[in-house]
């Protein structure tokens, strides 16, 4: 009888392994079906970045590139998915932030225009920074964005930077000196405020696609 035990046990092990694989192994997901999601906070800003598709580019690679690069943003989006949540575009990457869109753009401008030591001093002397940015849409295609930046005679540099980067930028309409370290700038765009942020990210990650889609 003992001779037959190994023969009987072996099929049982095979059956056990089959059921474990069949019912307990996680199934692979389709590319970009998975969502990058962080802690649950109140969502204050939702944007969609269109992804262009043609015969010479790999659509999945573009979507993956944008999704992965978004994890290097400061601030990081709370939610990222490789799809158009509102069916605005055929292909898109959607992002949700727990900060206002104007505040997210304000952070991006700080990161792109100022070195770390200037930003550190700015945040130290300006604890209410996030409350100083806002957005007003007087019409569907008119956005007035207010951002707060370190006072370093930045107006010329800021305007030139945005002119080169965003086709919707029209100019600086007002400047307000808040204190010795902070200057508030009101920026005018012929676009919705959410679209300004989406265009800013798209131009950074896919400049050729951005200029092709906005020409």
The secondary element (H helix, E strand) that includes residue 95 is strand 92-97
Please state the domain extents for the chain.
Answer: 101-193
Residues 147, 111 contacting (CB under 8 angstroms): no
Mean pLDDT, the chain, as a whole number? 84
Share of the chain above pLDDT 70, in %: 80
Examine the pLDDT at 32 and tell me if it is beyond 50. no
| Mean per-residue pLDDT, 97-113 | 96
| Mean per-residue pLDDT, 168-181 | 91
115-169: pLDDT as tens digits: 999 999 999 989 889 999 999 998 878 999 999 999 876 778 899 999 999 999 9
78-100: pLDDT as tens digits: 999 999 998 889 999 999 999 99
Q: Copy the structure tokens of residue 149.
A: 């930046």
Share of the chain above pLDDT 90, in %: 63
**Lookup result for tokens 């012929």:** 190
Q: Given pLDDT bands bounded at 50, 70 and 90, which one contains residue 58? A: confident
Q: How far apart are CA 202 and CA 66, in angstroms?
A: 9
Please list the residues that pair with 45 across neighbouring strands: 97
Instruction: Provide the 10 A C-beta neighbour count for residue 47.
Output: 24
- Which fold is adopted by the domain 101-193? Gyrase A; domain 2 (3.30.1360)
pTM of the predicted protein model: 0.80
């Amino acid at each position: 009888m003992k001779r037959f035990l190994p023969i009987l046990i072996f099929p049982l092990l095979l059956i056990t392994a089959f059921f474990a694989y069949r019912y307990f192994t996680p199934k692979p997901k389709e590319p970009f079906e998975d969502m990058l999601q962080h802690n649950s906070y109140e969502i204050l800003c939702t944007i969609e970045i269109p992804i262009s598709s043609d015969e010479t580019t790999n659509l999945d690679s573009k979507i993956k590139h944008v999704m992965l690069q978004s994890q290097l943003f400061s601030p990081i989006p709370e939610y990222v998915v490789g799809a158009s949540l509102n069916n605005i575009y055929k292909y898109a990457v959607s992002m949700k932030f727990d900060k206002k869109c104007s505040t997210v753009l304000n952070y991006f401008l700080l990161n792109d225009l100022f070195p770390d030591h200037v930003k550190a001093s700015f945040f130290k002397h300006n604890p209410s920074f996030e409350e100083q940015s806002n957005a007003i849409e007087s019409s569907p295609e008119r956005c007035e964005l207010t951002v707060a930046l370190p006072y370093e005679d930045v107006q010329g540099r800021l305007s030139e930077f945005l002119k080169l980067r965003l086709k919707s930028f029209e100019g600086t309409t007002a400047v307000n000196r808040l204190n010795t370290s902070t200057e508030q700038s009101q920026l005018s765009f012929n676009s919705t405020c959410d679209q300004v942020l989406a265009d800013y990210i798209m131009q950074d990650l896919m400049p050729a696609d951005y200029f092709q889609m906005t020409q």
